Chain A
Amino acid sequence: MNAVGQPMPRTDGRLKVTGAARYSADVPLDGMAHAAIVHSTIANGRTVSIDTTSAEEAPGVVAVFTHHNMPRMNPTPEPWSHLHPHGQSYLPLLADAVHYAGQPIALVIAETLDQATYAGTLIKVEYEADQPVVFNRETAKEAVDPPPFLWPVASSVGDADEGIATAAVTIDQTYTTSDRHHNQMEPHVSTAVWDADETLTLYETTQHIFGARELVSIVLGIPPEKITIVSHFLGGGFGGKAYVWPHTLLAALAAKVVNRPVRLQLTRAQMYSMVGHQAATIQQVVLGAGEDGTLAGIRHDSISPTPVFDDYIEYAALAARSLWAAGTGIATNHKVVHVNRNTPTAMRSPHEALGHFALESAMDELAYATGVDPVALRLLNDTEIDPYSGRPFSTRAMRECLTKGAERFGWDERTPEPRSMRDGRYLIGQGMASAIYTHWRWPAKARVTVHQDGSALVETGTHELGTGTYTVMQQVAADALGVAPEKVTVRLGDTRLPASHPSIGSATMANAGASVMLAAKAARDRAIELALAGRDAPFAGAEPDDVLVADGRLVLARKSLEITYAELLARNGLSTVVGDGDYDPVEEALGPKAVFSFSAVFAEVRVDPDLGLVRLNRFVGAYDAGRIINPRTARSQAIGGIIWGVGQALLEQSETDPETARFANRNYSGYLVPTNADIPELDVLFAGGFDEEASPLGAKGLGELTAVSVAPAIANAVHHATGKRVRDLPITVEKIL
C-alpha cells in the first residue's frame, strides 16, 4: 500500500507532546551566556547619551554593547533576494539614529537571562526626539511609487478603465486591513557558538537555514562554509521567521567578542518591533460588469506603510491579476508610505489574504448589485487562462471547489436577502469567497541512504514549522523506495545537509518533497543496478523497468524473483546505497503554464444584533492544492489556516499609539487571536488532483491558501446576516451596532 495519500499521524507528535522535541531555545550549551536587548522608547530621532555604568556593574553582567562598541557589520546586500534574505536593511547598534519605536539600542550579556534583563533596565538613555510619522488615511495621501520587490508593482492587461466606464454595473469601494503580528507561540531566538577554528554555529528559529547562512556570511564577512545554521523544530513560523532579523547578527557578534556561546531570545513585546509584521492596507477596488454579472474591468490599488529605510510592499492587488476573467482589462497598482516603524514581512498569507478581502468583498457587492448568486457569479467569471500571463492554468479546479463546497455547505438552502435568516434572537448569515494562491518553484536537494538493515535515512535542509514535514517526507521516501514508512528516518534543519529552499509560500511539499522523491528514486535505482549487475546478481539479464519495489524488497515479478534491500547490500558487501536528489525546476513564471492553488470557502455566522457580536457558526473550505500527500496533516494545515483567517476577520489588529508610534498592544492579552471557544467544527474537502506542472509529486501549495478568503467569506456572511457591509477589518462590535 502506498504511504502517500494515507492520513499518517505525525512521527514527531509524541516528541512534541512530551516536551522531548528540542526547539532552538532548548539546545543546552556549556558556558552559555544570555543576552537581553534594550530598545528605544522613541520612534524618531537619536540617542544623545547612553549611560551603561550601572548596568556594567550589575551582578552577572559580562558585557554591554551600544553603537559605541558594537563590532561593525557590512550593509545588507542589494538587491534583496530569497537566496540571502534580510528582514530589514537597517541594522541597529551601528549609529545613534532611531527610526522606529522598539529599535535595539543596547545589548547586555550576562550569566543568566534575568541578570541581563535587569541590567538592561539600569541603562539610562537620553534622546533627542522628533515627531514620528504613523500610517493612517491622512499620511496615506503621501504614498509614493516603490521600486519592485517580489513582482512588478503595477500591472495592466487590456483596458480596465474602459471596461469600467462602459459597464452596466460598477462597484467602487475602499477596504482596509489592519496591522497584524505573527505572534508565533515560540519566540524568536538565536544562539551563537564560535569554535576555536572561527566557525560559527547558530541555533536559529528560521524557516530558511540556507538563506540565513548566506545573509550572515555577507553581513558578518565570513565565508558561508564557516557557518552552520541549525533549526530542527519551529514553534510556528508563518513567514515571520523566513528572513534574517537584526537580533541574529547581534547575537553572533556579541558571542565573538565575549568568546562564549550567547543566547538571545526576544521578549513577546520585542517580537512586535524586532522582527516583521503584516502591514495595514488601504485598498480601492473598482469592478465593472454587465447586468448578468460578467466582469468587464477590474481595477485594484493598494497603499501600505513601510519604514523610512525600506520599500516593503504588501502586494494586496496581486490577486486581481489572476483570480477572475475580466473581458476588457485588469489593472493593479501598489504604493507605499514611509513611516516610523520596523520593516513589515510576509505573514500568512502575505499579499493574497489582504487583497482577497477587498476583491472578494467587492465581488459579493457585485452579486447583490446584479442579483446574481455569489457562487453563480464566480462560476460565470471563471477562467482557464491566466489573464495576467496569458498562459493556460496547469490545473484549476475552481469549478469543483465552488460546486462541491456549495453542496457540502448547503448553499442552495440560503435565502439571499440580508436579514432573512434567523435562529431565535440571532441573525444568521451565510457568505462565501474564492481564492487563488501563488505557486513557487524552487530548487532543492536531498540525499537518501538505504542501510544494510533495510532502513533508510532522508537528509535534506528543509524545515519543520509545525506542519508535519518529518512525516510527509517519510511517506514520499517510503513509496519511492518501496519500504514501510516506519523504516524511514528523516533529518532536517541543518546546513550540513543537502541545500533546500525557504519553507515559505507553501512550497515545501512540492519542491523539497520532489527532491526527496528524486533522491529516494536514485537510491532505489542504484539498488536495482546492483540487482541486475552486481555481485551474484539475482535479476541478471532483466531490464531496470522490469523491477518493482515493495515491502522492503526488489521484485522481478516476471520471474517471481525478489530480494530485500538488506540481502542485496550484504551480498555486495555494501553498508549503504545512496541516492542524491537534485530538483531544479524552471521558475514558475518562465514555465508554459500558470500554476496556482484555488479554493472556495463558505462561512455561516451568528450575529447577536443587540450586542453587535459576530460568532462563526460553521465553515466549509474546498481546496484545489493538487495531489494531497497526507490528508491528516493537510486537514490540520487547512483548519489552522481557517482559524488564522478568523483572527484576521474578527479579532486581530496591532494598534499604533498615534503619539509615540509604538505598537500599543504588544502581548497576547491585548492582541487577540481566536481561542477554541471561537472556533466551531470546520469542514475541509479537497477538490484538486495531480498537477505535473506544479511538482513531480503532483502537489500544489496548501497551507497559505487556506488562510486566504476566510475574511471576505465572513464579512460577506455578516452582510447577509445584518445588511451591514463592513469594509474595515477586523469586524468588531462597534461596526455592527
Chain B
Amino acid sequence: MHPFSISVADDPGRAVAAHAQDDHLSYIAGGTDLLGLMKDGAAFPAHLLDINDLPGLAGVDATPDGGLRIGALARMSDVAANAEVRERFPVIAEGLLFAASGQLRNMASMGGNIMQRTRCSYFRDGDDPACNKRRPGSGCSALDGLNRNHAIFGWSDACVATHPSDVAVALAALEADVVVLGRAGERSIPIADFHRLPGGTPERDTVLGRGELIVAVEVRAQAEGRASHYLKVRDRQSYEFALVSVAAAVETEGRRLRSVRLAMGGVAHKPWRLTAAETALRGADLDDIGALEAAIATSFTDARPLAHNAFKADLSRRAVLRALQTAGARA
C-alpha cells in the first residue's frame, strides 16, 4: 500500500472544506471498501479524513412528514435492526442483512455502502489490467474478457461493470433521496440521479463532487414501503455479491396491484429501475402469472447481455416475478 496520512474530522463544515481543497483527500468511515481498494491499487488517497466522530450523523430518525432520515454514519447492522426500518421498509432491512458478513455490517456505514465501487475483477486487479475506472483511457478488459458478473443494461464500450450495493437497490425502489452537505449547505439528490451510467467517463460512479459529503439518506413515508422485499440471487448462500437482485415494493387492492416499484442490482452500473414493467404491472392481478411475466418482460427488451451473462436477462425476469410475489404476499 502507498504511504498516506490520516486525521480525524470534528466538524462537517470543516471536513467539506478540506475535501474541496485537496484532490488527494478521501473521507473514511467504516473503511471496509476503501482499504481494500487501497490494497488493490485502485485508490491512492494521500490523506484520509476520518469522519466517524462527526456528530449527529449516525441516527435513524423520523422526519416531520412521516419518513425516515438514516444518518450517513449509521452502521448497516444498526439500520437493519431498527424496528421502524424493519416494519415500514423491510426491503431496506433485507437489503442490508443479505449483504456482506456480520463483521463487515458492524463496520460499514450507510454512506459508504452506496459509495462502494464495483467488484469487477479487472478493476480490483492489483496487476493493473486495462480498466477505464482504474486508468481512464486504458480500455475495458471485461468487454471481451470474463463478464459473467457484469451488466446487461446501460453499459458502454468503456465499462461494463455493475454497482455492488444491495441497499442502494432497495433505496432506488423507495425513491430515496441522498442528502449531501456542500460548501453552500445541504442539497438532496434523488437516488435515481445519484449513481451514473458509465458512458465515456466510467471513473465517476456518482454525481458527487469535491467538497461534498453524504450526511443522510431520506426515505419518504409511502404505502409501498411495508409490502416490500429484497431478493438476492447468488451462487452461494451467504457473503457474496448478487448475480442479480430485485427490490420490489407494492401497494395492492385485494390481489390487484395498484402501484409497483421495482429496482434491480447486478445488472447495471447503477441500481436499475424497471419503469416500463412498473407501468405495465399497474392493475395486474398477482395471481395471473402470465400477465405478470408479460408485464415484467417489457423492461427487458433493451437488455444487452455480454458473452458470459446471457443468462442474467432470463434470471432477472424470474427473480422479479418471485420478488413481486413475495412483496405482494406482504400487502
B-binding residues in A (CB < 8 A)? 39, 41, 101-102, 114, 117-118, 121, 269, 610-613, 615, 650-651, 655, 657-660, 662, 664-667, 669-670, 672, 674-678, 732-734, 737
Provide the residues of chain A in CB contact with B157, threshold 8 Å.
Answer: none
Contact A657 B146 (CB under 8 A): yes
Which A residues are in CB contact (< 8 Å) with B236?
A: 650-651, 672, 674-675, 677-678
The answer to whether A41 and B128 touch across the interface, beta carbons within 8 angstroms, is yes
**CB contact under 8 A between A121 and B2, given known A610-B318, A664-B122:** yes
* A613-B233 contact in complex given A121-B41, A657-B129, C-beta closer than 8 Å: yes
Given A121-B41, A733-B311, A611-B322 contact (CB < 8 Å): yes
Tell me whether A611 and B146 are in contact (CB under 8 A): no
Contacts of A669 in B (CB 8 A): 119, 124, 241
A-chain residues with CB within 8 Å of residue B238 when the two chains form the complex: 675-678
| Interchain CB contact (< 8 A) of A659 among B1, B144, B322 | B144
- Please indicate the chain B residues that have their CB under 8 angstroms from the CB of A655 in the complex: 121, 146
> Can you report 14 residue pairs joining A to B where beta carbons are below 8 Å apart?
A269-B126, A611-B315, A615-B237, A650-B235, A651-B235, A655-B146, A657-B141, A658-B145, A659-B144, A670-B119, A675-B237, A733-B315, A737-B314, A737-B315
Closest to B237 in A: A677
Q: Please, what's the 1-or-0 string for B119-138, where 1 marks a CB less than 8 Å from any CB in chain A?
A: 10110111111000000000
Q: With contacts A613-B233, A659-B145, A672-B236 known, is A734 near B311, CB below 8 A?
A: yes
Take A657-B145, A672-B236, A676-B238 as given contacts and tell me if A737 and B126 are in contact as well, using a CB distance cutoff of 8 Å.
no
20 other A-B residue contacts (CB within 8 Å) besides A611-B233, A612-B311, A733-B243 = A101-B127, A102-B127, A117-B1, A121-B41, A610-B318, A610-B321, A610-B322, A612-B315, A651-B235, A658-B146, A659-B145, A660-B129, A662-B125, A665-B121, A672-B236, A675-B238, A675-B239, A677-B237, A733-B233, A737-B315
| Residues of chain A contacted by B321 (CB below 8 angstroms) | 610
B254 beta carbon closer than 8 Å to chain A: no
Closest residue of B by beta carbon distance from A668: B239
Q: Count of chain B residues with Cβ under 8 Å from any Cβ of A?
A: 33
Residues of B within 8 A of A732 (CB): 235
In angstroms, Cα B319 to Cα A41, docked, is 39
Q: Report the separation of the CA atoms of residues A39 and B128 in the bound assembly, to the nearest whole angstrom.
A: 12
A114–B39 Cα distance when bound, in Å, is: 11
What residues of B have a CB within 8 angstroms of the CB of A613 in the complex? 233
**Cβ proximity bits B283-327 to A, threshold 8 Å, 1 near / 0 not:** 000000000000000000000000000010011001101100000
B78 contacts chain A at the CB level, 8 A cutoff: no
User: Max chain A CB contacts within 10 Å: which of B119, B235, B238?
Assistant: B235
A670 touches B121 (CB 8 A): yes
B64 interface residue (CB < 8 Å to A): no
Nearest 3 A-B pairs (CB), nearest first?
A677-B238, A734-B311, A677-B237
Q: How far is the CA of A737 from the CA of B312 in the complex (A)?
A: 10
Residue of A nearest to B41 (CB): A121
Residues of B within 8 A of A39 (CB): 127
> Is B3 interfacial (CB-CB < 8 Å)?
yes
Bound CA–CA A666/B1 (angstroms): 17
Find the B residue at minimum CB distance from A646.
Answer: B236
Closest to A122 in B: B2
User: Of A658, A664, A667, which is in contact with the most chain B CB atoms at under 10 Å from its CB?
Assistant: A664
B240 within 8 A of A: yes
Give the shortest distance, in Å, between B305 (CB) and chain A (any CB).
Answer: 11
- Taking a contact as CB atoms closer than 8 A, the residue among A610, A612, A667 that contacts B124 in the complex is A667
Q: Which residues of the other chain, A, contact B318 by a CB distance below 8 angstroms?
A: 610-611, 737
Interchain nearest-CB distance for B184 vs A (Å): 38
CA separation between A405 and B170, bound complex, in Å?
Answer: 46
Residues of A within 8 A of B1 (CB): 114, 117-118
Contact A41 B322 (CB under 8 A): no
A contact residues around B241 at 8 Å (CB): 669
- Please indicate the chain B residues that have their CB under 8 angstroms from the CB of A666 in the complex: 125
Residues of B within 8 A of A678 (CB): 236-238
CA distance A569 to B143 in the complex (A): 77
- Closest chain-A Cβ to B160's Cβ sits at a distance in Å of 14
Give Cα A611 to B319, complex, Å.
Answer: 7
A332 CB to nearest chain B CB (Å): 33
- A658→B141 CA distance, assembly (Å): 10
CB contacts (< 8 Å) of A667 on chain B: these are 124
Residues of chain A lying within 8 A (CB to CB) of residue B121 = 655, 664-665, 670
Q: Hey, which chain B residues are within 8 Å of A611, CB to CB?
A: 233, 315, 318-319, 322
Contact of A672 among B3, B122, B240, B311 (CB under 8 A): B240
User: Which residues of B have CB within 8 Å of A660?
Assistant: 129, 141
- A669 CA to B235 CA, complexed, in Å: 12
The docked-state distance in angstroms from the alpha carbon of A680 to that of B145 is 35
A675–B237 alpha-carbon span in the complex (Å):
7
Q: A659-B144, A734-B311 are known contacts. Are A664 and B237 too (CB-CB below 8 A)? A: no
Pair B2/A664 contact, Cβ less than 8 Å: no
Against A, the Cβ 8 Å flags (1 = close, 0 = not) of B2-43 are 110000000000000000000000000000000000000100
Contacts of B129 in A (CB 8 A): 41, 657, 660, 662
Most B C-beta atoms less than 10 A away, residue of A650, A662, A674: A662
Tell whether A664 pairs with B322 under 8 Å between CB atoms, given A118-B1, A613-B233, A672-B235: no
With A and B bound together, what is the CA distance between A650 and B237 in angstroms? 11
On chain A, the residues within 8 Å of B145 by CB distance are 657-659, 664
The smallest beta-carbon distance between A136 and chain B, in angstroms, is 13
Neighbour of B3 across the interface among A118, A615, A665, A737, CB < 8 A: A118
Q: Cβ of B235: which chain A residues have Cβ within 8 Å of it?
A: 650-651, 672, 732-733
A408 to B276, CA, bound (A): 52
A664 adjacent to B233 (CB under 8 Å)? no
Residues of A within 8 A of B314 (CB): 737
C-alpha gap A674/B128 in the complex (Å): 29
- On chain A, the residues within 8 Å of B240 by CB distance are 672
Q: Tell me which residues from 183 to 223 in chain B have a Cβ below 8 Å from any Cβ of chain A.
A: none
Bound CA span A664–B125, Å: 8
> Measured between C-beta atoms, what is the minimum distance from A343 to chain B in Å?
20
Closest CB-CB distance, B22 to chain A, in whole Å? 21
